[in-house]
Amino acid sequence: MKTQEMIALRLKYESNLMDSIVPFWEKHSPDRKAGGYFTCLDRDGTVFDTDKFIWMQGREVWAFSRLYNWASQASMERRNKWLELAELGARFLRSNGRAGNGDWYFAVDRNGKPLVEPYNIFSDYFVTAGLAEFHRASGEKWALELALSSFSRIQERKARPKGIWTKQIAANRSLMAMGIPMMDAWMARELRGLVEPATLDALAMAAEGQVFGFHVDRDRKAVFERVASDGSHPESMDGRLLNPGHALEVLWFLLRQAADRSDQERIQEICEVMLWSASSGWDEQCGGFFYYRDFRGYPTEKLEADMKLWWVHAEALCAFLLAYKLTGSAEHLAWFERIDSYTFTHFPDPEFGEWYGYLDRGGEVALSLKGGKWKGFFHVPRTLMTCIDWLREMEKTDAR
């Protein structure tokens, strides 16, 4: 990629972030009456449900806090309203989000009354990251204390993350999901400077060990979403499930981790696995990544398997740009350019801003919403900020 191409790409990402994504959430998401954020937003920002999903609240606290912390280092205007918006969510979480045992609810109503029990440990992960980033932005000690307390609680419960709400009978079929090591790899980086390095190093390496020791199957050239506790793949829909987006997301986390320690062997291995995941997940007929695939090509139980989702493509952009940055591989650059082309011709909404979240297989908008129970202000801004940083670094390297 030539320097001028890097600059043009960075400017495109900066414009999408600052002129489309951020203004949409600044305008439509804050609940200035009850605190926190509305995340169920239709195409034009109309609020269609006022319930608040705790993991989405945590994600948005993280995004506004990171935006505030990131802007000045990215040579962009640092706006105080981002810190104010982060505080709006952080204080709502502090007052309403946590159950008596220290776990975070999944959902509360507009005013903070609990609606859904704390069955989902991903609420805890995203709140922890959000409050940690808010602490960096604001200096508020209570936010750090709450983040560290939540981090400690995650370590206690992640071996059985759903607790009493676990549906699976582990004695008959024990499966490990890739979501926990993926989040641990991300968390190990998010808490740098706030938690002892040895603790975070151990967390990061354990996550990498599970992914490469169990989920990555070198013989089958696949990354399995769920595996048996002995590393085998049960002949069932769960055992054959592939999720290209999750695979690429965890792989770029681990790639960054390997780069931090200058582990060239692991970098090359991860970059190879990325190519497997992309090739098996890409829809050669219609373009874009499938949401789910069955390893043997059978139908999955997921009715949305053929859909094209925003976050999958956002994480794929990070994966292949980082792989290209570290290796200079033409193959990874070609994949990045293919993903960038599909993403920016299908997901952004030029009329009302933001990205659509859910496309059908052919790339047409399936749902008009810009935010909901599962989509919020997180994957897109994280991707754009991250890619902008890497493009700037590459521009400087190229100039030298």
Work out the number of other CB atoms within 10 angstroms of the CB of residue 197.
10
Buried b (16+ CB within 10 A) or exposed e, 306-332: bbbbbbbbbbbbbbbbbbbbbbebeeb
Token readout for 220 is 């089958």
In terms of phi and psi (left: phi > 0; alpha: psi -120 to 50; beta: otherwise), the region of 254 is alpha
Domain range list for the chain: 173-369
Please state at what angle helix 310-327 crosses helix 244-260, rounded to 10 degrees. 30
What tens digit of pLDDT does each residue of 176-202 get?
899 999 999 999 999 999 999 999 999
Secondary structure percentages of the chain, helix, strand, coil, to 5: 55, 10, 35
Token readout for 366 is 């399936």
Question: What is the C-alpha to C-alpha distance for residues 20 and 23, in angstroms, rounded to an integer?
Answer: 6
Q: How would you classify the pairing of strands 358-359 and 308-309? A: antiparallel
Question: What is the C-alpha to C-alpha distance for residues 231 and 221, in angstroms, rounded to an integer?
Answer: 15
- Report whether 131 contacts 90 (CB < 8 A): yes
What tens digit of pLDDT does each residue of 343-394 get?
999 999 999 999 999 999 999 999 999 999 999 999 999 999 999 999 999 9
Single-letter residue type at 375? K
Alpha-carbon distance values, 158 to 7, 135, 153, 179 (Å): 42, 24, 9, 11
Token pair 């790409």 is at which residue? 9
Question: What is the C-alpha to C-alpha distance for residues 92 and 297, in angstroms, rounded to an integer?
Answer: 45
- Across residues 271-283, what is the average pLDDT? 97
Name 164's Cβ contacts closer than 8 Å, sequence gap at least 6.
Answer: none
pLDDT surpasses 90 at 173: no
Alpha-carbon distance values, 236 to 174, 183, 228, 233, 388 (Å): 13, 25, 11, 8, 41
CA angle at 41 for the pair 120 and 9, rounded to the nearest 5°: 90
* pTM of this structure: 0.96
Question: What is the C-alpha to C-alpha distance for residues 224 and 106, in angstroms, rounded to an integer?
Answer: 26
pLDDT surpasses 80 at 400: no
* Least confident span in 167-171, 213-217, 239-243: 167-171
What tens digit of pLDDT does each residue of 26-79 get?
999 999 999 999 999 999 999 999 999 999 999 999 999 999 999 988 788 889
pLDDT surpasses 90 at 164: no
Of 24, 22, 16, the residue nearest 46 (C-alpha):
24
Indicate the pLDDT class of residue 166, thresholds 50, 70 and 90.
Answer: confident
Fold designation for 173-369: Glycosyltransferase (1.50.10)
H or E element at residue 349? none
Q: What is the pLDDT of residue 133?
A: 98
